Chains A and B, each alone.
Chain A
Amino acid sequence: MAEKTGKVSGRRELEELIQTCVSIENRQFNPFLLDISEALRIIRRHAGSWKTLGDNLLDMRAITSLARVVGLQSANLRFQSSSLFVDPGMVKQKVESMSREQLAGFLLLSWHPVVELEQLTEASTKEALDYWQKMLSFFERRKRLQPGPFDSPGAMDTPELARMRVLEEKAFGRRLEDLRREMKEQVGEEGRIDYWTFVRAKSFADTVLRAQMVSFLVSYGMAMLEKKREKMFLIPRDPPFSTGQGSPLSLPIPIPMEGVAPRAK
């Protein structure tokens, strides 16, 4: 019990130490406010009792944070010995006591603005003018592309957009469910249907689309693909479905363009 309490207080001490180090890194406190030897004593005191990975990581974070503070102390000492050192408190006080005009005057005495020219040169102006004059008008350039006459803007409804394949007419899940139902209707009493009989459609593009949808049905466990010698059969499943029922195997099925004859109605 005592050991557990010791660990809890140890963790709290380390977390507080890390927090202090973070505040120092964020310039909230002077790095010399932290007593490094005391911080090391705390880390050492608890070091032996850490057994879990989490505790050891906490210990490591505390040491790294402390190292960063030592780094800041070193940088601070170097800075203090440089000519730029002025105490921040004093600077604040000075700035607060000075008028805007005084401050502006001091800045002007230390300011050497960079020269930045943005105007055009004679050569680049000539080049630009030449380019502009040689450039054909928008309508002439458009004619070259032969896009035909301008279409006036019009409105489109959802079925029209679906026909253009900009929008999906049905949600994907709904389409899968419809296809499963269609399969179930077609299997009849036998309980299965020949793969190509089901997938084959009016056009090659539609066949590919149905084959793709069927692949999702099989992957999602909504149908089963049975392979017997050269033939493949589809067996629809009833809900509830789970992806665990899906086929773990990947079966590539080539769709020859010539072999896909229009489906018999």
Chain B
Amino acid sequence: MLFFKRGRVPGARSWELKTGLGKEYPKVLAQLDEALKDLDLEVKKVESQTLSDYKPGPDGEEEMRYFVRLKGTLTPKEARMTGWRIDNLAALAACMSLIVSKQGKSERKELEHIIGEKVGRWRALTLTDAFLRSGYLEEDEEGLMKIGWRTRAELDLESLMMLIAESKPKGAIVEEPVEVSESAEPLEVEGPAETVEAEFEDQASTEG
């Protein structure tokens, strides 16, 4: 139930798990979480208030959604397998840091501007749409962009904000700056937490 995607959103709702596993489903999930540790996976619980498209359960109980996600993080080499380009990852990081710093909401124009600075205007437009479609971003009634369900499920925002706040300008870290091209040569990236070997290559985008 947790692994297979049914419909648009993966994972399972609390009432679905309750129906399938019984009232004691949290215990079953705890056991599953323990078993998944060996595979570097974990069960992640996301509260309904952060998931705009989730409806309350049939018995009126507070709705939760459970996902299975990677416990650790991906190395740049592994990230290549997701099919994401370096542009996509950088744009998502920029987007999320700006939205979080503005307390969860930001104007679309502002987001497009900050992404556009890194990847160009046209790519910024398509990437913003792609983030909206995949659930990283959501648009509210006033047209403001806010954090989507996928961000809540997948991103450790505290860690991201910490990394960005502690970062030093490019020149101060990378002694020999590497020219970045769309064909993406192997790159050296250094973060405050650890050195990341970035070996991104241009790959087919998975937007949409």
Chain A interface (Cβ < 8 Å from any Cβ of B): 25-28, 75-76, 79, 83-88, 90-92, 94-118, 121
Contacts and interface: CB of A to CB of B under 8 A. Distances in A.
B161 A27 contact: no
Interface in B7-57: 10-11, 41-42, 44
Contacts of A98: 164, 167, 169-170
B92 A107 contact: yes
B158 A114 contact: no
B118 A112 contact: no
A95 B160 contact: no
B101 A103 contact: no
Q: Which 4 A-B pairs have the closest CB atoms?
A: A104-B89, A107-B93, A103-B90, A100-B90
A27 B98 contact: no
Given A84-B100, A94-B165, A110-B157, A105 B196 contact: yes
A104 B41 CA distance: 22
A83 to B, nearest CB: 6
Given A84-B161, A105-B191, A113-B69, 15 more contacts: A27-B106, A83-B158, A84-B157, A92-B98, A100-B119, A100-B180, A101-B189, A101-B198, A102-B189, A108-B89, A109-B159, A109-B160, A112-B44, A112-B155, A115-B3
B119 A106 contact: no
A99 to B, nearest CB: 5
Given A92-B114, A95-B98, A100-B118, A106 B69 contact: no
5 contacts: A83-B158, A83-B162, A86-B165, A90-B165, A102-B189
Contacts of B68: 114-115
Nearest to B195: A105
B94 interface: yes
Contacts of A91: 97-98, 101, 164-165
B195 to A, nearest CB: 9
Interface string B185-196: 001111101101
B69 A115 contact: yes
Interface of A is mostly: helix
Given A97-B170, A98-B170, A108-B73, A27 B163 contact: no
B142 A107 contact: no
B203 interface: no
Between B68, B150, B160, the greatest number of chain A beta carbons within 10 A of the residue's beta carbon is seen for B160
Most chain A beta-carbon neighbours within 10 Å: one of B3, B67, B114, B164: B164
A116 to B, nearest CB: 4
Interface of B: 2-5, 10-11, 41-42, 44, 67-76, 79, 82, 86-87, 89-90, 92-94, 96-98, 100-103, 105-107, 114, 117-119, 142, 144, 150, 153-165, 167, 169-170, 173-174, 177-178, 180, 187-191, 193-194, 196, 198, 200
A84 B151 CA distance: 15
B94 A95 contact: yes
Contacts of A104: 76, 79, 86, 89-90, 93, 189, 198, 200
Given A102-B191, A107-B90, A87 B41 contact: no
A107 B153 CA distance: 14
Nearest to A25: B142
Contact of B70 (A75, A112, A118): A112
A113 B5 contact: no
A91 B178 CA distance: 23
A219 B206 CA distance: 62
B10 to A, nearest CB: 4
Contact of B76 (A79, A94, A105): A105
Contacts of B159: 109-110
Contact of A106 (B41, B102, B153, B191): B191
A175 B70 CA distance: 72
B75 A108 contact: yes
Contacts of B144: 26-27
B102 A114 contact: no
Given A91-B101, A95-B98, A116-B5, A111 B87 contact: no
A106 B107 contact: no
